[in-house]
Amino acid sequence: MFPFKKFWYNSNDSILWVGVLKMETMKFVYYQEDNMWVGWLEEYPDYRSQGKTLDELKENLKDIYQDLSTGKIPHVRKYGELVVG
């Protein structure tokens, strides 16, 4: 499965390509504690969330990502990878 959504217009058996939107994905870490799901985005381990269901946790993590990527949360600490050799 490709991480893209294609949009097109089909009129009179001709296809007009409009564009391709890349779906962004992000890894997250999670576990279940009692009856709650706890997790965080792998790139932002300082910002944890929880949910009553795994789907609720995923939605909460999407909200956190939106806040982090738009600057609503200042001084965000990220983890990166450095090639040293």
In this predicted model, what pLDDT tens digit does every residue of 11-58 receive, in sequence order?
555 555 556 667 789 999 999 999 999 999 999 999 999 999 999 999
pLDDT at residue 10 is higher than 70: no
HEC string of the chain equals: CCCEEEEEEEECCEEEEEEEEECCCCCEEEEEECCEEEEEECCEEEEEEEECCHHHHHHHHHHHHHHHHCCCCCCCCCCCCCCCC
What residue ranges do the domains of the chain occupy?
Answer: 24-79
pLDDT score, position 80: 80
pLDDT score, position 1: 44
pLDDT at residue 78 is higher than 90: no
Mean pLDDT of 54-78: 93
